[in-house]
Amino acid sequence: TLDAAMPCRSVLITGCSSGIGLALAVRLAKDELKRFKVIATMRNLEKRWELEKAAGNVLNTTLEVKELDVCSEESIRDCVNSIPGRKVDIVVSNAGVGLIGPVESQSIDTMKSLFDTNFFGLVRVVREVLPDMKRRQEGHLVVMSSVMGLQGLLFNDVYAASKFAVEGFCESMAVEALRFNINISLIEPGPVITEFEKKLYDEAASIDLSSVDRETARIFREIYLPYSRRIFTALGQTPEEIAK
């Protein structure tokens, strides 16, 4: 029986198919004091097997997997409506995509797509849960940002811009949120070793640089990519360390 002084809090986490989202969902669901009921969400439920395997015997007890696409207001609303009383005590906005390379090699549509997930995805989730939190006069928004929300980095122009937007949005909203007893936490990791990052760098190594001047292309391929891989290998944290 749970201690009455320590109520079980519902935690909605986005982007749980892998990486930090998966690690955090499992860590909270396996909390020895059973303080959390985790709603672990992802855009594509066909990718749920890794999470379910990691969850083990807490699956469908303290961890439930649901579909949620942060790029769809309807998907977010359907997910929240499926939660008893729409009661979400903590939201962890973790879903995100990456983009690296010279800005001349990236289309405007690609940049818009990144912002649609990294920034507007957060905004959509907040707009859905914030009114309920205000009405209950309690809640916690945990937002997965990045050190690149504090400082830009070579060839990460658009990604950093999306994280700067996240920082400005959350910092601006924080004073209003406190009036309603709602906390906002920005998490700003440095390098994290995940399949997400590995895939991003593998794709970057083969991007079309035909529209980029020779010197920029050389710096990207011969200096930036090898250096970045070394940094990730030497300094990268694991998703489990970030979750902790």
CA atoms of 218 and 26, how far apart (whole Å): 42
Number of domains in the chain: 1
What's the Cα-to-Cα distance from 165 to each of 43, 106, 160, rounded to whole Å?
22, 19, 9
Residue 174 belongs to a domain: yes
- The dihedral of CA 224, 227, 230, 232: what is its sign? negative
CA atoms of 107 and 63, how far apart (whole Å): 39
Element (H, E) at 140: strand 139-144
Residue 1 belongs to a domain: no
Residue 77, token pair as written in the block = 């609303």
Q: Residue 188 belongs to a domain with what CATH number?
A: 3.40.50.720
Please indicate whether residue 159 is annotated as part of the active site. yes
Residue 147 belongs to a domain: yes
CA atoms of 35 and 178, how far apart (whole Å): 23
pTM above 0.85, yes or no: yes
Backbone phi, psi, residue 144, to 5°: -80, 100
- Bridge partners, residue 67, by sequence: 42
Domain that holds residue 93: 9-243
Q: What is the pLDDT of residue 4?
A: 45
Q: What is the pLDDT of residue 6?
A: 60
> Could you tell me if 25 and 13 are in contact, meaning their C-beta atoms sit under 8 angstroms apart?
yes
pLDDT tens string for the chain (244 positions)? 344 456 799 999 999 999 999 999 999 999 999 999 999 999 999 999 999 999 999 999 999 999 999 999 999 999 999 999 999 999 999 999 999 999 999 999 999 999 999 999 999 999 999 999 999 999 999 999 999 999 999 999 999 999 999 999 999 999 999 999 999 999 999 989 887 777 888 888 889 999 999 999 999 999 999 998 888 888 889 999 999 9
> Could you tell me if 20 and 27 are in contact, meaning their C-beta atoms sit under 8 angstroms apart?
no
Residue 79 belongs to a domain: yes
Q: What is the pLDDT of residue 120?
A: 98
Q: What is the pLDDT of residue 201?
A: 83
> Could you tell me if 20 and 192 are in contact, meaning their C-beta atoms sit under 8 angstroms apart?
yes
Q: Where are the alpha helices (DSSP H) in the chain?
A: 19-29, 49-55, 73-81, 108-118, 120-136, 157-179, 195-204, 214-218, 225-235, 239-243
Which is the catalytic residue, given 159, 201, 224, 227? 159
Residue 116 belongs to a domain: yes
Residue 190 belongs to a domain: yes
Residue 3 belongs to a domain: no
CA atoms of 224 and 132, how far apart (whole Å): 45
Residue 135 belongs to a domain: yes
